[in-house]
Structure 1
Amino acid sequence: MNKSIIKEITPLTPNDCFTIFSRVKKEFNFPLHFHDEYELNLILNAKGAKRIIGGHIDVIGDYELVLVGPNIPHAWFTHECTTEITEITIQWHKDLFDDRFLSRNQLSFIKKLLEMSARGVSFPPEAIQLVLPRLQQLSQRSGFDSVLDLISLLHDLSTSRNIIALSDTSFLNSQSYNYNSRRLDKAFQYMNENYQKEISLIDIAKLVNMTEESFSRFIKKRTGNTFISSLNEIRLGHASRMLIDTTHSITEICYLCGFNNISNFNRLFKKKKGCTPKEFRENFSGVRVFV
């Protein structure tokens, strides 16, 4: 992890279920950071602020609600925001809801939401409007009822339509993702370990004992991406890491990540990230630590 990305030690103790902060401020001044806990962050009246989660960078609107999984680098920056900002942040231990608890049928939607949060999850406006009063009330409550409120809140968010996963899967630890398929796990592990080499559909199909056609259909059905898109996403994820963590030139990173054409690398990067590799590096290098 880059030294400019700090690990936050949250005030949660082992005896707590979660903590919630509600504050009004004129600017964002906390640096790019990560922590062991889940974080649900509601931000109001911050149009023009910049948000970074994993490998995803965006400028936000008047209000947003984002769920961030454990140990994902994230931060909000004032950028072009000129208004007074309201922020409500909920953090809870990553083992508050263990796998056995979440495996129950009634909790399947929450389980899926928490799995998605490994990439950072953004909720649509209609979901925000639905839970906004409850989030505001939760910041004023305590005790057992507030734990039930949190579970209910997560369930309602988990059933929302148009939820968006933000960061590339490969920007973080690829082991965080579970496609409920040994074949896909094996394929993604191989691609993550060999992304710098030439990898063909034939190679992966043979690896998982499938025909090329069958594997193409299989990966598209399970992930929503084609084989090539999945491989490029992994390579771009590793390129994002290198842009942050190394001083390699952009051309060097292009070839180190398995791309054999710098113009193609730049085009794919901008299409996926919304900025050029140079702009991406500058966005991260501009982060300052105020501790």
Structure 2
Amino acid sequence: MNNIIKEITPLTHKDCFSIFSREKKSFDFPVHFHEEFELNLIINGAGAKRIVGDHEEEISDIELVLVGPNLSHGWQTYHCKSDSVTEVTIQWHKNLFEDRFLKKNQMILLREMLERSARGILFSEDTAVALSAQLMALNDLKGFTAVMELINILHELSIAENARTLSRVALDNNQILNPNSRRIDKAFEYMNANYQKQITLKELAQLISMTDVSFSRFISKRTGNTFVDTLNEIRLAHATRMLIETNMPIADISVNCGFNNISNFNRIFKKKKFCTPKEFRENFCGTSVFI
């Protein structure tokens, strides 16, 4: 677990899903997990290594993988020699489809696929090729139309043949770190709703009825990070979204995300993202859409 990080995605409770597409030369994001479902299409990435749960495998030229909430996953450059890899990543909340909806007769195959994704699902190359154009075209759709197209794509995947389960076991990293997650979820919800403000350890401790010292130990044990590092991760998730979606000056983004000064923001951003906010914005090549 020490080498696996929990990612706080920029997806907010008001979004249905996000789609991020880009061209890149290498796979440099570490193995990670997050609360959201993720559907990942990779084209021209032959030789890269796929890691999903306890599974590792070298990939072919095109692949499409569905990863369930809190399942560790990542891709590494490994033997990949391509200098132009296309990657399309779609993420949606784990409660986008309510349980009562998924229990309807017509939703049986979709429900089974989402449940199976707890171990990761690799779809056949034929399926990846057949749906690649639809996945990339999601960037151009808006609102309700985009949501309906995502549902249509998920339906097509649920009836696709020759899909393969990847991890031998379902590894819920959030439960490994957070066996009693109700309190930590409440703390995360508060930080996500108030990240622009100055938040103290004391007010969060009071929120979940703990002493300051107990809460400090509690959040470190449950997340692997200190309170300050956890809050900064949440603020950085919102900051990266602003850097991608807006032309807002970096100093204003810093203030709007709760950092006390631009120097501190730059330092923390570079430590976590391995580049400055300015470099991130300049080097960003791709599109990110939130529906």
Q: Is the 8 A contact 2:70 2:171 kept in 1?
A: no
Displacement of 1:140 after TM fit?
2.1
Query: CA 1:67–1:55 in structure 2 vs 1: closer, same or farther (change >3 Å)?
Result: same
Q: Could you tell me which amino acid in structure 2 is paired with residue 152 of structure 1?
A: N
Contact conserved, 1:54 with 1:172, CA < 8 A, in 2?
no
Q: TM-score, normalised by structure 2?
A: 0.58
Instruction: Provide Cα deviations, 1:233-276, integer angstroms capped at 9, x if missing partner.
Output: xxxxxxxxxxxxxxxxxxxxxxxxxxxxxxxxxxxxxxxxxxxx
Contact 1:31 1:290 (8 Å CA) reproduced: no
State the alpha-carbon separation in 2 of the partners of residues 33 and 170 from structure 1. Answer: 15
1:21 aligns with 2:23: no
Shift of 1:3: 2.3
Paired with 1:137 and 1:27, the residues of 2 have a C-alpha distance of 23
1:156-235 matched pairs, under 5 angstroms: 156-169=156-169, 171-172=171-172
Percent sequence identity over aligned pairs:
52
C-alpha distance in structure 2 between counterparts of 1:290 and 1:62, whole Å: 28
Counterpart secondary structure, 1:169 = coil
1:128 and 1:82 mapped to 2: Cα distance?
21
Cα contact 1:25–1:86 (8 A) shared by 2? yes
| Displaced runs of 4 or more, over 4 A | 170-173
Relative to structure 1, is the Cα distance of residues 158 and 93 closer, same or farther in structure 2, using a 3 angstrom cutoff? same
SS class of match (1:113): helix
**Maintained 8 Å contact 1:121/1:163:** yes
- Alignment-derived partner of residue 94 in structure 1: 94
CA distance in 1 between counterparts of 2:158 and 2:121 reads 10
Aligned residues between the structures: 176
CA contact (8 A) 1:19 1:91 kept: yes
Which residue of the partner structure matches residue 283 of structure 2? none
> How far apart are the structure 2 equivalents of 1:159 and 1:170?
22
Matched residue, 2:110? 110
1:10 aligns with 2:12: no
SS of the aligned residue for 2:140 comes to: coil
Kindly state the Cα deviation for residue 170 of structure 1 after the two structures are TM-superposed. Answer: 5.2
Structure 2 counterpart SS, 1:139: helix
Gaps of at least 5 residues in structure 1 are 176-288
For 1:55, give the aligned amino acid: D
TM-score (norm 1): 0.58
**Partner residue, 2:194:** none
Separation in structure 2 between the aligned mates of residue 162 and residue 9 of structure 1, nearest angstrom: 32
Q: How far is the alpha carbon of 1:12 from its aligned partner? A: 0.4
Counterparts in 2 of 1:247-262, with a 5 A limit?
none
**How do 1:76-95 and structure 2 match up within 5 A?**
76-83=75-82, 84-95=84-95
**Residue equivalent to 1:146:** 146
Would the aligned equivalents of 1:110 and 1:155 in 2 still touch at CA under 8 Å?
A: yes
SS in 2 for 1:114: helix
- Structure 2 partner of 1:52: 51
2:74 maps to amino acid: A
Give 1:171 shift: 4.3
How far off its partner does 1:60 sit?
0.1
- Distance in 2, Cα, partners of 1:171 & 1:55: 8
**Distance of 1:47 and 1:129 partners within structure 2:** 15
**Partner Cα distance (1:12, 1:135) in 2:** 18
Aligned residues of 1:41 and 1:90 also touching (Cα < 8 A) = yes
